[in-house]
């Protein structure tokens, strides 16, 4: 499990229902001393009240202590700023008082040196005037988004809509950049320029969930009159000044905060499922700043503000998406006409810092990382084997601690090189296999997730058979149902299993809509269905195909631990329309299941059980305890 938790105040801004915990999967710290750390995605307050979520059962929404130790993207929709501080402080009021005492102490120190304080104040006023007159501020716009998120527990409907605000900026060619989480599940997006009282409708062209970037366009030419797009700058250096501009809470006009670059490294992206290059800054990033630009002293954009890190032990840690990641997103869109994602090698790695381990693997020098496991869906599955040692990537040497040279005097995680590739690119790997050095080539493709972090198309698939509701397991569903409701065994599969082929899903019986035809099964919920009439299920579409083509007298569903649910086929068919009418459900299946079924691996290929007992894999292995994904 991860050890960072997202701040509660964002929970009111971006999702319907009560507090929701999207479990990301990377440990930010291995030290047990750091508790209640929170990596969060800031977003402005919503203008609609959060309705109480209605579910088929009275499910508990109480967060477990284990949940409060994860990197999460939370959302809250409330304009009451008192909730921000209250929800942000998971401890007692003593912790909440600490920043006040610190501020008071600093103020007292300034009064002792009043002359110096007044001089600094004048300098700050002059600097503020320069920023106020800067033309680049006019390229920053306010985003108004109306969201309608899917209801993953009741997948045939959506949740009540809500609104939120964020920031964006002009990049030329009639386009704007913002964060993906600012326009997630959008039904309407509007933007307003600084000093203007007119809102213009914007269209979302592309969303990169893992990099948390979205591309917008505005067709109205009036919006672009006199507009000057921002210019992108280079990756900054440590201690370089940085200015964050946006429309956060606290007012309706544009806001400017200043700080310096504190750190540049591969970091966890709370909205996505992986790690990419990130810039850590100490300038304030608040709800509403999301999607706004960060500038250097030359007025060049060096990145996009997108998340902050909250902890009782740290303060003033914000993150900016650097221009290298932004450029990759834009180039990907230009190449393919859509966003295809950041590629992955699909391998689990182990560091080789121990000399005896290197000697055992016949690695002659202090270099390389060990391949512990290769995903069968990865392009590297045909060229790499367990036990191989990767010593170079495209000619760049890989150190034994899993890092590569970065700029002149720095080193960075090996994953950085992989993230520079595009889908379909070929990478050259230098490996040591059984003591012999060789070079191999592999195609780069995005990683295939057995349990997705985001639902493609927005609406989850579902199938209703005689009141039995089947749907694929996903992180948003786990988030909505809460971990206690999902169960330990299913959570273990979600965290530790890998996809064996593209298109594989864990299909679960989420609930049973009570009816005479399904008497005795009413209490079943969140159980994985393994087989239908003896055939192992590959995905939700496969299950629908099996049910449609069945001519047997009985429909036999086999679940975990040999639990059976048997229905009469003709009785089930006769009862289906009545059940749909009683529960107000428009269709027995989602629209995507109406398409012809295409088998992802072939009809005759045998599917084995997921092996959880050997080399368990979870995203929390990224980069710690000697393990990391690449």
pLDDT greater than 90 at residue 104: no
pLDDT of the residue at 258 = 95
- Residues 163 and 176: their CA atoms lie apart, in Å, by 20
Q: What is the pLDDT of residue 132?
A: 53
Separation CA 83–CA 36 (nearest Å): 18
The helix or strand, by DSSP H or E, that contains position 417, with its residue range, turns out to be: helix 415-419
Q: Give the number of other CB atoms < 10 A from CB of residue 559.
A: 16
212 is an active site residue: yes
Cα separations in angstroms, 533 against 537, 551, 567, 569: 10, 11, 11, 12
DSSP-assigned letter for residue 274: S
Catalytic one of 35, 63, 273, 290 = 290
DSSP 43: -
Can you read off the two tokens belonging to residue 123? 């300098």
d(CA 626, CA 608): 30
Residue at token pair 């409708």: 201
- Distance from C-alpha of 248 to C-alpha of 269, rounded to nearest angstrom: 20
Question: Which of 181, 328, 542, 545 does the annotation list as catalytic?
Answer: 181
Q: How far apart are CA 618 and CA 451, in angstroms?
A: 11
Q: Higher pLDDT residue, 32 or 414?
A: 414
Q: Sort strands 140-147 and 162-172 into parallel, antiparallel or unpaired.
A: antiparallel
State percent of the chain over pLDDT 70: 74
626: three-class secondary structure by DSSP: coil
Residue 485 pLDDT grade (very low, low, confident, very high; cuts 50, 70, 90)? confident
pLDDT of residue 607: 54
- Please check the confidence at residue 174 and state whether its pLDDT lies above 70: yes
CA 440, chain centre distance (Å): 32
Question: Where do runs of H (alpha helix) occur along 253-343?
Answer: 323-336
Q: What is the pLDDT of residue 136?
A: 82
- Say if residue 618's pLDDT is above 70: no
pLDDT of 82 > 80? The answer is no
Give the residue among 229, 258, 269 at the shortest CA–CA distance from 40.
269
Of 212, 388, 479, 621, the active-site residue reads 212
Q: Considering the entire predicted model, what is its pTM?
A: 0.77
pLDDT in tens, 217-236: 999 999 999 889 999 999 99
Given this model, what pLDDT does residue 523 score? 92
Quick check: 245 pLDDT over 50? yes
pLDDT in tens, 324-366: 999 999 999 999 999 999 999 999 999 999 999 999 999 999 9
Place of tokens 């082929």: 501
Cα–Cα distances in angstroms (integers) from residue 526 to residues 53, 157, 472, 509, 523, in the given order = 19, 19, 10, 5, 10
**pLDDT: is 598 or 457 the higher one?**
598
Phi and psi of 544, rounded to 5°?
A: -60, -40
- Residue 111: which pLDDT band, with cuts at 50, 70 and 90? very low
Per-chain mean pLDDT for the chain: 80
Q: Taking residues 165-183, what's their average pLDDT?
A: 95
pLDDT at 484: 74
pLDDT at 72: 37
Is the model's pLDDT at 519 over the cut of 80? yes
Minimal CA–CA distance to 258: which of 142, 168, 410, 134? 134
Spatial contact of 55 and 188, defined as CB atoms under 8 Å apart: no
Say yes or no to pLDDT of 170 above 70: yes
What are the distances in angstroms from CA 179 to CA 221, 329, 345, 566? 23, 12, 26, 47
pLDDT bucket at 628, cuts 50 / 70 / 90: low
User: Catalytic site residue 454?
Assistant: no
State whether residue 483 is helix, strand or coil: helix
Residues near 522 by Cβ (< 8 Å), separated by ≥ 6? 512, 514
Give pLDDT, residue 273.
75
| 13-57 residue pLDDT tens | 333 333 333 333 333 333 334 344 556 666 444 554 444 444 444
* Cα dihedral across residues 26, 32, 36, 39: positive or negative: negative
Reply yes or no on whether 181 is catalytic: yes
> Bridge-partner residues for 442, per DSSP?
427
């Amino acid at each position: 499990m991860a050890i960072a938790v997202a701040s509660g105040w964002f929970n009111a801004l971006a999702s319907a229902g009560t507090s929701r915990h999207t479990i990301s999967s990377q440990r930010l710290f291995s030290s047990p001393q750091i508790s209640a750390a929170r990596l969060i995605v800031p977003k402005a307050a919503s203008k609609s009240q959060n309705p109480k979520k209605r579910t088929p059962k009275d499910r508990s929404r109480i967060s477990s202590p284990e949940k409060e130790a994860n990197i999460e993207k939370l959302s809250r929709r409330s304009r009451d700023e008192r909730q921000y501080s209250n929800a942000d402080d998971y401890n007692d009021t003593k912790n909440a008082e600490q920043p006040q005492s610190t501020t008071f102490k600093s103020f007292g120190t300034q009064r002792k040196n009043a002359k110096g304080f007044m001089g600094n104040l004048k300098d700050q006023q002059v600097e503020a005037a320069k920023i106020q007159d800067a033309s680049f501020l006019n390229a920053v716009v306010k985003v108004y988004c109306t969201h309608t998120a899917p209801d993953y527990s009741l997948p045939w409907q959506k949740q009540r809509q809500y609104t939120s605000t964020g920031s964006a900026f002009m990049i030329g060619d009639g386009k704007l950049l913002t964060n993906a989480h600012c326009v997630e599940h959008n039904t309407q997006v509007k933007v307003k320029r600084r000093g203007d009282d007119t809102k213009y409708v914007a269209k979302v062209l592309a969303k990169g969930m893992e990099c948390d970037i979205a591309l917008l366009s505005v067709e109205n030419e009036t919006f672009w009159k006199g507009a000057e797009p921002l210019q992108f700058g280079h990756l900054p250096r440590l201690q370089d000044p940085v200015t964050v501009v946006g429309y956060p809470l606290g007012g309706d006009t544009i806001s400017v905060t200043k700080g310096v670059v504190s750190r540049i490294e591969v970091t966890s992206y709370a909205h996505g499922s992986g790690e990419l290059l990130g810039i850590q800054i100490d300038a304030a990033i608040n709800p509403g700043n999301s999607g706004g630009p960060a500038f250097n002293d030359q007025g060049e954009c060096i990145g996009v503000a997108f998340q902050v890190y909250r902890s009782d032990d740290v303060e003033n840690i914000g993150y900016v998406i650097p221009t290298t990641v932004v450029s990759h997103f834009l180039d990907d869109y230009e190449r393919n006409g859509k966003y295809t994602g950041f590629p992955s090698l699909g391998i689990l790695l182990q560091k080789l810092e121990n000399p005896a381990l290197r000697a055992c693997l016949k690695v002659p020098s202090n270099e390389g990382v060990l391949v512990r496991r290769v995903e069968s869906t990865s392009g590297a599955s045909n060229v790499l084997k367990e036990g191989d040692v990767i010593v170079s990537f495209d000619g760049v040497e890989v150190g034994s601690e899993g890092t590569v040279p970065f700029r002149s005097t720095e080193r960075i995680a090996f994953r950085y090189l992989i993230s520079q590739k595009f889908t379909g690119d070929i990478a050259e790997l230098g490996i040591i296999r059984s003591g012999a050095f060789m070079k191999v080539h592999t195609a780069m493709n995005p990683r295939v997730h057995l349990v997705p972090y985001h639902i493609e198309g927005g609406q989850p698939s579902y199938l209703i058979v005689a009141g039995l509701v089947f749907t694929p397991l996903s992180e948003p569903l786990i988030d909505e149902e809460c971990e206690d409701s999902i169960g330990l065994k299913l959570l273990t599969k979600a965290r530790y299993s890998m996809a064996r082929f593209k298109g594989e899903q864990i299909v679960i019986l989420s609930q049973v809509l009570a009816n005479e035809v399904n008497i005795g099964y009413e209490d079943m919920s969140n159980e994985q269905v393994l087989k239908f009439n003896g055939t192992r299920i590959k995905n939700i579409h496969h299950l629908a195909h099996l049910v449609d083509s069945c001519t047997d007298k009985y429909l036999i569903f086999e679940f975990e631990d040999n639990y059976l649910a048997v229905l009469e086929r003709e009785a089930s068919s006769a009862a289906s329309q009545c059940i749909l009418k009683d529960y107000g459900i428009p269709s027995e299946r989602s629209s995507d299941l109406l398409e012809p079924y295409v088998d992802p691996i072939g009809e005759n290929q045998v599917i084995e059980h997921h092996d959880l007992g050997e080399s368990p894999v979870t995203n929390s292995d990224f980069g710690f305890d000697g393990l990391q994904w690449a």
